[in-house]
């Protein structure tokens, strides 16, 4: 599965778990770590964990290698490394504090619209 297809699949899973403000950054040619960053947030620790758990479960079921998952127990900033896609699931307050979108402000964004989430 190519990175773009994967990131849209992951966006749908996050949306199904009520993740908010889903943003996809196209990191191709910018980062050696991944082709795409998906950033989203939940409004509580439990919601952050629910989003991250579902993302990991779907990845495993789809035979996508979960290289690493960090921050799950604290549930403030959970990072899932899926190879071509790195997912950042923040608690709302921490997302505002770290503001990755501003840090990577010059990186192109992919549109995540309703048709991608169906």
pLDDT one digit per residue (tens) for the chain, 118 residues: 788 889 999 999 999 999 999 999 999 988 888 999 999 999 999 999 999 999 999 999 999 999 999 999 999 999 999 999 999 999 999 999 999 888 888 899 988 866 656 5
Please give the model's pTM, rounded to 2 decimal places. 0.92
Give residue 52's domain range.
3-112
Residue 70 region by backbone torsions, left for phi larger than 0, else alpha for psi between -120 and 50, else beta: beta
- 47-86 burial code (b ≥16 CB/10 A, e <16): bbbbbbebbbebbeeeebeeeebebeeebbbbbbbbebbb
Tally the C-alpha atoms within 13 A of residue 51's C-alpha that lie toward its C-beta. Answer: 34
- The count of domains in the chain is 1
Q: Does residue 65 fall inside a structural domain?
A: yes
Q: Does residue 85 fall inside a structural domain?
A: yes
Q: Does residue 118 fall inside a structural domain?
A: no
Q: Does residue 42 fall inside a structural domain?
A: yes
Q: Does residue 58 fall inside a structural domain?
A: yes
Q: At 94, which CATH number?
A: 3.30.460.10
Q: Does residue 59 fall inside a structural domain?
A: yes
Q: Does residue 117 fall inside a structural domain?
A: no
Tally the C-alpha atoms within 13 A of residue 76's C-alpha that lie toward its C-beta. Answer: 6
């Amino acid at each position: 599965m190519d990175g773009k297809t994967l990131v849209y699949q992951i966006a749908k899973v996050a949306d199904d778990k009520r993740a908010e403000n889903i943003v996809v950054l196209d990191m191709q040619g910018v980062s050696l770590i991944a082709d795409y960053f998906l950033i989203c947030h939940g409004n509580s620790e439990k919601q952050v964990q629910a989003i991250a758990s579902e993302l990991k479960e779907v990845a495993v079921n789809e035979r996508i290698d979960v290289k690493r998952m960090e921050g799950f127990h604290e549930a403030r900033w959970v990072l899932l490394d899926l190879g071509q896609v790195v997912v950042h699931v923040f608690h709302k307050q921490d997302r505002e504090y770290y503001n990755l979108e501003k840090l990577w402000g010059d990186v192109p964004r992919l549109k995540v619209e309703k048709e991608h989430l169906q």
